[in-house]
Amino acid sequence: MAATDRITMTMRELDRFKVIQCVVDGQLKRRRQPTAFGSR
């Protein structure tokens, strides 16, 4: 039986996690990363 853990994240942390996940999955190009993180 697999154990499940719960973590708490802010919406900003969740957004960053989703961006990183897309990069790892190859769905987001490197040049788009800074704008995805809110940098200018």
pLDDT of residue 7: 92
Whether this prediction's pTM lies above 0.75 is answered by no
Which 3 state secondary structure label does DSSP give 12? helix
Q: Around Cβ 19, how many Cβ atoms within 10 Å? A: 18
pLDDT on residue 35: 60
Question: Closest Cα to residue 15, out of 28, 38, 39?
Answer: 38
Residue 8 to residue 11: CA distance in whole angstroms: 10
**What does the block give as tokens for 33?**
């990363």
What are 15-39's pLDDT values in tens digits? Answer: 999 988 988 888 877 665 556 566 5
